[in-house]
Structure 1
């Protein structure tokens, strides 16, 4: 008997439906011919708690840190024992096992750790399914691989789990215990990904809080030219008081010039035109979709992930969603027309876009060299029934389908014009854009980026009709939102100060993974470190104090981004886990030496004062601060038994 172990029941049902013979349900499995398909329920196993290694470690004490297991143990999750028993029984009957976890690092770990924990010594094949529709699953079943090929991926995932345990357990215990000494009653959870993400928000909030606006002034002039009118902006020279971005810091020079300009004549002294062709945006990775869906529909990152899971599992309308890839396999190109016709016909908007697609076009999206274990999100071709989808599901589905449809549209072709006028020996600049061919752009927006300028000829005369001086102020950075925080996590090198590390990270950008970023944000909210105010994500007093009390390196992204590099090297079989874990232990010892109750007490007091100072400015309602603190404590207590990554 062949036993296929899927990651979850929905995957098992899809696999069973694609096998020869009528599926027959059994206890914890589905039979089809000589094959049984069973499933995990997400992770059936988890890292054992410290007291599994030594009962004395159940009590939290600083003198027992760091906790360093000599031989790692896994333990069944509380609700997983029944299904684990089913798999154990079925393994005794099997002649061959097929690993059918999701096609990513965690999917490899989730099923393989069960197979190894239960002591299976026989052959294991690997089934990679990224589309739950029957034809796609049948194609995947015809291409089974030796699971040994994916052992480095499993070792990387196992190493990640152990490293997260070491980092989270030891630092969480250390800061919780020093927090008690400082007067804080609750768990202070520290993790190698969640804490740097919190640090991003805390530092952004501090920039906003400490920002001092500075006035600057701009002068515009409406010009009459041979074939129309345009607005140009004064470019003051070095003799004027300017900041490092060339902004005028005093109003007097602009006001004086504005009085002299009406009726003045000048000439167009420099004219530059450039035609550009911009290909369609690539199909989505999960994070790219989360950014766009947050901006367009105000959805949280978790809401987008949950919606994608429903579209993938329940409705089977899209391919595997937890993907970090924005490219599609070349073999999918031939079937793209049929796939998109099936996916888009029932929706008015999508069918209108479908009618404009030219399926003879082949964009840069079809590229096997850019496709790893999984490809970009795409429609499966299954018939969409709008009545069965919620409004959010329909909106997210349209975004996914749109970005694939856009690959069959022409490039956006524009002509950009930059003009410089000389009037009264001063320079005035204008720029505009003309759309030559809209291409894919109408699928995304009907708004022009910049209005076109009238036809211009270098050397032609101009005359000033009207002028105006505008008083402006520099603005603080915007607070993080779900969209901008996900984007920051995707492009973390931008927030790294060390130039050498920043250069290294550009090829391996990313804090967290496609599968975890949404959960990290929600975890920080649940634990009381972040709070949502409208669309903004702001740090609470507790979150700010935690970052202030930690060594700076623990709240910055460099460490965890470099971790991902090392884990990628392990997954690619170019590095071993042991040296990485040994270096982590030494790093932990240095971090633990910074646990200081006095410093944490001071940080809590300072954060309390900063929050009280900021509350009137942001219109906090009476009693609002106490609610935030209560939520923080409640969230911290819930964190006690959670994984702290």
Structure 2
């Protein structure tokens, strides 16, 4: 008997449907001929809590830290015991086994840890599925690989899990205990990704609060040229008072020049006109989609992830959504026209977009060299019926389809003009943009472009017909939103100060992963460290206090982004997990030595009243974790003593229809 273990029931059903023969439902499994397909419910196992290694760890004490297991253990999740028994019984009868976890690092860990925990000693095949439609699943079943090929991916995922346990358990206990000594009642959760993300928001809030607007002044002039009129802006020289962005801080020089400008004549001294061609934006990765959907539809990052999971699992309209790739396999190009036309036949919007396509084009988005374990989000070809979807589902599907359809449109062609004028020995500049071939552009915006400059000839005379000064104020940084915070996590090198690390992190995956960024934001909201205000994300007083009390290195992104780099080298078999974990332990001991109740007390005092207050959830328990009554306090203390000590490790849950499945809280 062959046993296939899928990551979740929806994937198991798709596999069973693609197998030849009649499917019979069994307890926790599907039987198709001589093949049984069963499933996990997200992670069936979780790292054992500290007291599983030593009962004295039930009591939180600073002198216990760091807690480092000599031999790592996994324990069944409370609601997973029934499914584990199903898998154990099936493995006893199986003579061959297929691992069908999702095609990513966590998917590799999720199924393989169960296989090892249940003691299977035989060979294991690997089934990689990124599209739940029957033809795609059938192709994947015909292309099984040896699971040993993915052992480095498993090692990386396991190293990540253990590192997160060590970091979260020890630092959360340390700062919770120092917080109690300083008068804070509640768990202070520290995570190797969630805390730097909180640090980004807290520092942005402080920059906004401390910002002092400064006036600056912009002098413009309307010019007459042979072919018409245009507006140009004065470029004050360095001998004038300028800020670091070249803005004029004193009005007097502008006033002096303005008085001389009416009727003044000059010449066009430099003209740069270039024709540019621009390809369509690439198909989406999950994070890129979350950024766009937040800007266009005000969807939260978690909402986008949940919608994508529904489109993938329940409706089978899109390919695997938790992808960090923006390219598609070259083999998909030939059939993409038929696939998209079939998908869009029932929707007027998609039909309009498809009318402008040329499927003989060879778009840059189809590039095998840039496709890894999974490819960009794309329609599966299943007909899209918007009336059967919720409005958010239809909106997200159209965004995904649009970015793939746009690959088969002509390039956007523009004429970019930069003109520099000399008037009264001063420099004025103007620039314009003319669209020559709209190409894919109308699929993305209906806004009118700024008018192009009139035809210009270098050296031609110009005359000033009007001029004035616009008085402006510098503006503070914008508060983070879901879109800008996801983008910051994607491009974390911008927020790194050390030049060598900044160079190293440029062009890497950034902070967190595609699968975890939305969860990280929601975790910080639920724990009362962040709140949403009018679409913006702001740090609470508790969030600010935690950031101030922690060592600076624990609140900045360098460490965790470099973790991701190390994990990638492990996943690519370029490094063993041991040195990575040894380095982590050295860092951990250094951080623990900095736990100080005095610093925490000072942080709590300085941040009291700083930041908005999180709303209380319906249960009456504040999001900060502070119990609402004496009875609740006692219950909370008992619960904290019996658990692992860090809610960083509690995992994440995502809605799958009426069933909840859980994967461990990767990178939270």
TM range (shorter): over 0.9
CA distance in 1, matches of 2:235, 2:586: 55
Q: Which position in structure 1 is the counterpart of 2:245?
A: 245
CA distance in 1, matches of 2:348, 2:267: 51
CA distance in 1, matches of 2:301, 2:77: 26
Is residue 2:393 matched to residue 1:388?
no
CA distance in 1, matches of 2:75, 2:292: 39
Q: Which position in structure 1 is the counterpart of 2:174?
A: 174
Q: Secondary structure at the match of 1:294?
A: helix
CA distance in 1, matches of 2:415, 2:567: 45
Equivalent of residue 643 in structure 1, options 648, 655, 662: 648
CA distance in 1, matches of 2:240, 2:588: 54
Q: Secondary structure at the match of 2:171?
A: helix
1:511-590 aligned at under 5 Å gives the runs 511-590=511-590
Do the aligned residues in 1 keep the contact of 2:188 with 2:546 (CA within 8 Å)?
yes
Deviation for aligned residue 1:581: 1.0
CA distance in 2, matches of 1:332, 1:306: 26
CA distance in 2, matches of 1:633, 1:307: 28
Do the aligned residues in 2 keep the contact of 1:493 with 1:509 (CA within 8 Å)?
no
Q: Secondary structure at the match of 1:217?
A: strand
CA distance in 2, matches of 1:502, 1:480: 21
Do the aligned residues in 1 keep the contact of 2:190 with 2:648 (CA within 8 Å)?
no
Offset from partner CA, 1:290-326 (integer Å, 9 cap, x none): 0000011111100000000000000000000000000
Q: Secondary structure at the match of 2:79?
A: coil
Q: Which position in structure 1 is the counterpart of 2:218?
A: 218
When normalised by structure 1's length, the TM-score is 0.96
Q: Which position in structure 2 is the counterpart of 1:472?
A: 472
Q: Which position in structure 1 is the counterpart of 2:37?
A: 37
CA distance in 2, matches of 1:574, 1:146: 20
* Unaligned segments of structure 1, at least 5 residues: 616-623
Deviation for aligned residue 1:257: 1.9
Do the aligned residues in 2 keep the contact of 1:542 with 1:632 (CA within 8 Å)?
no
Q: Secondary structure at the match of 2:431?
A: strand
Offset from partner CA, 1:462-515 (integer Å, 9 cap, x none): 222211111011111111110111111111111111111111112424111100
1:356-505 aligned at under 5 Å gives the runs 356-505=356-505
Deviation for aligned residue 1:242: 2.0
Q: Which position in structure 2 is the counterpart of 1:600?
A: 600
CA distance in 1, matches of 2:346, 2:418: 45
Q: Which position in structure 2 is the counterpart of 1:618?
A: none
Deviation for aligned residue 1:348: 1.3
CA distance in 1, matches of 2:364, 2:573: 29
Q: Secondary structure at the match of 2:625?
A: helix
CA distance in 2, matches of 1:337, 1:563: 41
CA distance in 1, matches of 2:614, 2:67: 36
Q: Which position in structure 2 is the counterpart of 1:303?
A: 303
Q: Secondary structure at the match of 2:358?
A: coil
Deviation for aligned residue 1:237: 2.1
Deviation for aligned residue 1:564: 0.7
Q: Which position in structure 1 is the counterpart of 2:355?
A: 355
Q: Secondary structure at the match of 1:88?
A: helix
1:43-442 aligned at under 5 Å gives the runs 43-442=43-442
Equivalent of residue 634 in structure 1, options 602, 618, 625: 625
CA distance in 2, matches of 1:635, 1:344: 51
Deviation for aligned residue 1:625: 7.8
Q: Secondary structure at the match of 1:633?
A: coil
The size of the alignment, in residue pairs, is 634
Q: Secondary structure at the match of 2:247?
A: coil
Q: Secondary structure at the match of 1:643?
A: helix
Offset from partner CA, 1:85-132 (integer Å, 9 cap, x none): 100010011000100000000000000000000001112100000000
Q: Secondary structure at the match of 2:78?
A: coil
CA distance in 1, matches of 2:100, 2:286: 21
Deviation for aligned residue 1:238: 3.0
CA distance in 1, matches of 2:238, 2:480: 36
Deviates more, 1:409-418 or 1:439-448: 439-448
Q: Secondary structure at the match of 2:447?
A: coil
CA distance in 2, matches of 1:625, 1:57: 31
Do the aligned residues in 1 keep the contact of 2:16 with 2:30 (CA within 8 Å)?
yes
CA distance in 2, matches of 1:442, 1:117: 54
* Unaligned segments of structure 2, at least 5 residues: 628-635, 650-667
Deviation for aligned residue 1:609: 5.0
When normalised by structure 2's length, the TM-score is 0.93
Do the aligned residues in 1 keep the contact of 2:615 with 2:623 (CA within 8 Å)?
no
